[in-house]
Amino acid sequence: MKFASILFDLDGTLIQTTHLYEEACIAGMQAIGLEFSSEDFQRLYPQNYSMTGWIIEKGGKADQLDIVRAARDVIYHELLATKSEYCEGALELFAFLKTHPTGVITNSWRSYLDAIHTKLSIYDHLTEIMTADDMGDFCKPHPHGLLLTTDRLGVDPKNSIYVGDQIFDLEAARAAGMTACLIYGPHSPKGAEKHADIVVESLAELQLKIQ
């Protein structure tokens, strides 16, 4: 194996959840009377804006954040627990990496992972999980979560690879001194490949690259 550890983003990289998050976000914004379209989501999601930023941009107020989050999460937890699916090739890659140090570093909340686990048993396939609950104010593109994960795994970050579908994933990888791997997904922004050391079209291709 070329790398001491193989680390992943979650949404759009290992699990097909982004379309479910879009549905939940639209419902959350509607809970405070704001029109929020699929086009709005496609534009804002890759920019890693905070939800407060979304609300203000669409004409709402920052103090409405809790209402939007609550409405969003009720729907999103249900969707994750019933409709989340692995990206093509994920289970085969997990089998290949069964005895190798692996991890997920995601800006999603632990409760989202718990909901996914009820359907897909994702915790059974990974050595370490790092969520927004663990990273606090230091979520991606800050490298904190990636470095903390390699520390827990006992491996050198310089000998690790981080795989994600967004520019902020690649920025976090490079800031951590890791190999930054872009896996193209339906929500990957144009030009993301400029931030990557390695570019793959699928998890099957990634498996070939890391051997």
Please tell me the predicted confidence (pLDDT) of residue 46.
Answer: 82
Reduced to 3 states (helix: H, G, I; strand: E, B; else coil), residue 104 is strand
> How many Cα atoms occupy the beta-carbon half-sphere of 69 within 13 Å?
12
Mean pLDDT of 167-172: 97
pLDDT at residue 49 in the model: 75
**Domain 5-16+85-210 of CATH type 3.40.50.1000:** yes
User: What pLDDT is attached to residue 105?
Assistant: 98
- The string of pLDDT tens digits covering residues 6-16 is 999 999 999 99
Single out the residue of 115, 108, 116 nearest to residue 133, CA to CA.
108
SS3 content of the chain, % helix, strand, coil (to 5): 55, 15, 35
Asked whether the bond before 101 is cis by omega within 30 degrees of 0, the reply is no
* Residue 44, CB-side half-sphere exposure with 13 Å CA sphere: 20
> What is the structure's pLDDT at 205?
97
- Residue 158, pLDDT > 80, answer yes
Percent of the chain residues past pLDDT 90, beyond the cut? 92
pTM: 0.91
Strand partners, 130: 105
User: Averaged over 82-94, what is the pLDDT?
Assistant: 97
Q: Pick the closest to residue 21 from 166, 167, 149 (CA basis).
A: 166
pLDDT of residue 1: 87
Mean pLDDT value of segment 155-170: 97
